[in-house]
Amino acid sequence: MQNLSRKQFEILEALATSKTALTQRQMEDKVNYSLGTINRTLKELNSSGFVVNGMITEKGFEALEPYRAKRAIFIAAGFGSRMVPITLNTPKPLVRVHGKRIIDGLIDACLQADINEIYIVRGYLAEQFDQLLYKYPMIKFLENPVYNEANNIASSMCARYLLSNAYVLEADFLLYNPKIIKKYHYASDFLGIKKERTDDWCFEVKNGIIVDEKVGGINCWQMVGISYWNEEDGHKLCNDIKETYEQPGGKERYWEQAPLVFCKKNYKVEIRECFEEDLVEIDTFRELKAIDKIYDV
């Protein structure tokens, strides 16, 4: 299987996610390349048999297969302590907002992107996640036995053999734009929101690649806890997460610090832009009450 260039990938992806043939002018709107570049790239794809008459072929879909997201891992073991009192009896991802569980929107977006292999790492009130099986019988659960004595790196330890061609998602995002969960990825990437200033976890980025993770920054990217890992990086994560976890103080780490801080020389993780209106992380009970007035009693 030949590797696709970035331009070939993006044009094939645009055709794969369109229900009709695209003109070169429509393609220009989707991929931000000049008409000349699109024309040359389409000629390459035509000569390879990946595109015929402006439509992706079966061979084209086969060429995209190595770039397809095959599974999703949800990190959902924590207490959600800042959401007390609502989380005293309910894990945070299962809290309902406007009648719908928070995690449902994320799972639905994965299924919409044809990601049907779904794992949930659970710990706190673990048995309550069984209710998801009525709606989502394909879900498999991974048990985190040390959720109450370690940070979320312990959850990634439970899933570390599953991280190739995989999304890793914090399970407490209220999703407004399901299209940010994509079927195809050219490289490993992490979602971020461009910020002039933030006091939150954020990334320093150079030439589209994440070079550091820190708390607070200026002209940086606020971290959004949704990432994708390609096959090669998924294999490296399997070892690097374990190595980070077993270091002194390793249990206190966040899982993404393995590839982005402690073993960052092994990775080139791209930033993928999203926006405030795409999703919201409900951190506190006060924020929950502001979004859904049913809790404001």
Rg (CA), the chain: 20
Q: What pLDDT was estimated at residue 19?
A: 74
By C-alpha distance, which of 142, 166, 152 is closest to 237?
Answer: 166
Per-residue pLDDT tens for 167-215? Answer: 999 999 999 999 999 999 999 999 999 999 999 999 999 999 999 999 9
Q: Sign of dihedral through CA atoms 200, 204, 210, 215?
A: negative
Rounded CA separation 176/195 (Å): 20
β-bridge mates for residue 292, sequence order: none
Q: What pLDDT was estimated at residue 1?
A: 41
What is the pairing mode between strands 209-229 and 166-170? antiparallel
Is this prediction's pTM over 0.85? Answer: yes
Rounded CA separation 88/85 (Å): 5
Q: What pLDDT was estimated at residue 15?
A: 92
**Segments of the chain scoring below 50 in pLDDT:** 1
β-bridge mates for residue 271, sequence order: 190
Residue 91 · residue 129 · CB < 8 Å: yes
Rounded CA separation 44/60 (Å): 12
Write b or e for each residue in 3-34: b if 16 or more Cβ atoms lie within 10 A of its Cβ, otherwise e: ebeebbbbbbbbbbeeeeebeeeebeebbebe
Q: What pLDDT was estimated at residue 296?
A: 80
Overall size of the chain counted in residues: 297
Q: What pLDDT was estimated at residue 47?
A: 93
